[in-house]
Structure 1
Amino acid sequence: RYYGVEYIDGLLADLGVSSHHFDDETRGFSFRFEAPLDMRMNKRAGITAADILNDYDEERLADILYLYGELKQSRRIASTIVKARGQKTYKTTNDLLTTIEPFFQRAREKKDMAKMFQALRIEVNHEMDALKEMLMAATELLRPGGRLSVITYHSLEDRMVKNIMKSGNIEGKVKQDFFGRIETPFRLVNNKVITASNDEQERNPRSRSAKLRIAEKKANE
């Protein structure tokens, strides 16, 4: 709108978090560093990870850990966090790690800790709401024949992208016309999601979880 652009020919969205955030020891995005539990992309707005750990009730906290982190022990972890904060306020990453380390087996410790931090980061920054807003905006702004290409990194965001491309809505509710054709503004370019090759995975281990989906905007019918 600022430049007077009404429609676009294509949109490429890479939903991965910038390594700049993880490598900044002061932001609290990574369990590798002792840092304040912040995790805000925009440090001038919103709640912090510490606010969530100290203020959310047990049920809400457990739901976040399960939905955004896919942690199977989310209920037990949330219960332990709530009990521990009665003795000490959560301020730094080490405060959190001290509480949750007993839940993670050494073989999967780093992966599960990454899921824990991912869940808090998604909640702090309302990432799912931002993704929904972007996908709906793309639906309106793409010209007929325009391409929507999205790189996802975890199942929650991948499901939203797949739904919008296949059904035209975030929930994935399929609507059909009189002839049984699915009513959606998009046509899938790749029916099967594109994943990284073995060679690419060797060069960049982070690409192992990346999935690329591409859809083309249908002409007005």
Structure 2
Amino acid sequence: MSSHHQSVMFDESIIGLKLKSNGVYIDATFGRGGHALGILEKLGDQGKLIAFDQDITAIEYANQQFNDSRLRLIHSPFVNMHQILSEEELLGKIDGIFMDLGVSSPQLDNAERGFSFNTEGPLDMRMNQSSGISVAQWLVSADKVEIANVIYEFGEERKSRHIASAIKRFQQEQPIKTTLQLANIVASVVKTKKNKHPATRTFQAMRIFINQELTQLSETLKQTINLLAPEGRLCVISFHSIEDRIVKQFIQQHSKQKQLPKGLPIMNSGIEQTLLKDLGKSFASKEEVNNNKRSRSAILRIAQRTTKDVE
């Protein structure tokens, strides 16, 4: 079975969920099940864990490695969780939702998935390889402006226009089909510090774009409000500033109450409902960062569903 020693911010996540023995929990990003294993270790016989993953290889791995009647696996993007669980009358009954927004180590380490700029493989980057188009296919049809916009918006890469131009120049001779072709094109334009690959931001941007990650994250966060039971916890680990900003703003939006002007009746005030309590953020420890470099940019944010809506 998978060991959880490489699961990012493992202890902080398990503590943050404030697990109840008989609770019902969601692992929205199963991966290789490191955090799921930690949740199951804390649950009693009546506890339940519902795990989502859009990567069929993660589901197949779980079916082979996990033999636990308390675990239910669903092959689906987490954006579908509200629809699936509402049909089972679980709205307002979930005691905790966990989301790890990073690409899993097996996905990065498998060259055939096309996520890594360090190893040669087909330029794919789809989380769910049964749907959508690959990055290689998108680059064929996308023009220079669209490519530059994607790299800038989702990668915050200042050299986005130069990279897009270099991509189009290369395509005049041959199509871009592999990860190293793209990585080398970017490296010819971008110069970075020794500990950061020049293609890091570009690969991040194209992965986010091709999988519609930010749109799905925003939609899913909205769904958590109706899914969580009173005092239920939301724990989200993000790995770059764009994701973290979305999570931060969502929590802030639902945890701040507007002040009423004196003498104004509540029913006419348009007051916002306070649906969440912001429990703060934390970072990976120095020890963890030393042992697992992928944790160095991780941010864990925790919020708790209020016991009742403010009227």
| CA distance in 2 between partners of 1:117 and 1:91 (Å) | 14
**Larger relative contact order (Cα-Cα within 8 Å, sequence gap ≥ 6):** 1
| CA distance in 1 between partners of 2:261 and 2:290 (Å) | 47
Question: Is residue 220 from structure 1 mapped to residue 309 from structure 2 by the alignment?
Answer: yes
What is the deviation of 1:188?
A: 0.7
| CA distance in 2 between partners of 1:18 and 1:159 (Å) | 21
Question: Is residue 189 from structure 1 mapped to residue 279 from structure 2 by the alignment?
Answer: yes
Aligned partner letter, 2:173? Q
What is the deviation of 1:53?
A: 1.9
Q: For this pair of structures, how many residues does the alignment match? A: 215
- Whether the aligned pair in 1 keeps the contact of 2:91 and 2:228 (CA below 8 Å) is no
Instruction: Report the RMSD for the aligned CA atoms in angstroms.
Output: 2.2
Question: Is residue 210 from structure 1 mapped to residue 292 from structure 2 by the alignment?
Answer: no
Question: Is residue 30 from structure 1 mapped to residue 112 from structure 2 by the alignment?
Answer: no
| CA distance in 2 between partners of 1:214 and 1:126 (Å) | 24
| CA distance in 2 between partners of 1:72 and 1:6 (Å) | 43
Change (3 A) 1:175 1:72: farther
Residue in structure 1 matched with residue 260 of structure 2 by the alignment: 178
Percent of aligned pairs sharing the same letter:
38
Q: Per-residue displacement from partner, 1:97-127 (whole Å, max 9, x unpaired)? A: 3322212326347433122211111111111
| CA distance in 2 between partners of 1:168 and 1:199 (Å) | 34
Aligned partner letter, 1:165? I
Q: Name whichever of 78-87 and 102-111 sits farther off.
A: 102-111
Q: Per-residue displacement from partner, 1:56-79 (whole Å, max 9, x unpaired)? A: 121221111112112110111112
| CA distance in 2 between partners of 1:62 and 1:76 (Å) | 8
Determine helix, strand or coil for the equivalent of 2:113.
coil
TM-score for both structures, normalised by structure 1: 0.88
What is the deviation of 1:163?
A: 0.6
Match for 1:98 among 176, 184, 198? 184
Question: Is residue 5 from structure 1 mapped to residue 90 from structure 2 by the alignment?
Answer: yes
Alignment of 1:51-200 (within 5 A): 51-105=137-191, 107-108=193-194, 110-168=196-254, 176-179=258-261, 183-190=273-280, 193-200=281-288
- Whether the aligned pair in 2 keeps the contact of 1:189 and 1:215 (CA below 8 Å) is yes
| CA distance in 1 between partners of 2:195 and 2:135 (Å) | 20
Query: Structure 1: which 5+ residue stretches go unaligned?
Result: none
Residue in structure 1 matched with residue 133 of structure 2 by the alignment: 47
| CA distance in 1 between partners of 2:135 and 2:234 (Å) | 32
Aligned partner letter, 1:211? I
Determine helix, strand or coil for the equivalent of 1:41.
coil
- Whether the aligned pair in 1 keeps the contact of 2:118 and 2:180 (CA below 8 Å) is no
| CA distance in 1 between partners of 2:134 and 2:142 (Å) | 12
Determine helix, strand or coil for the equivalent of 1:148.
strand
Aligned partner letter, 2:309? N
Aligned partner letter, 2:164? A
Residue in structure 1 matched with residue 6 of structure 2 by the alignment: none
Q: Name whichever of 178-187 and 195-204 sits farther off.
A: 178-187
Determine helix, strand or coil for the equivalent of 1:98.
helix
Structure having the higher Rg: 2
TM-score for both structures, normalised by structure 2: 0.64
What is the deviation of 1:20?
A: 0.8
| CA distance in 1 between partners of 2:298 and 2:156 (Å) | 17
- Whether the aligned pair in 2 keeps the contact of 1:58 and 1:78 (CA below 8 Å) is yes
What is the deviation of 1:142?
A: 1.1
- Whether the aligned pair in 1 keeps the contact of 2:114 and 2:123 (CA below 8 Å) is yes
| CA distance in 1 between partners of 2:251 and 2:201 (Å) | 26
Determine helix, strand or coil for the equivalent of 1:71.
coil
- Whether the aligned pair in 1 keeps the contact of 2:159 and 2:190 (CA below 8 Å) is no
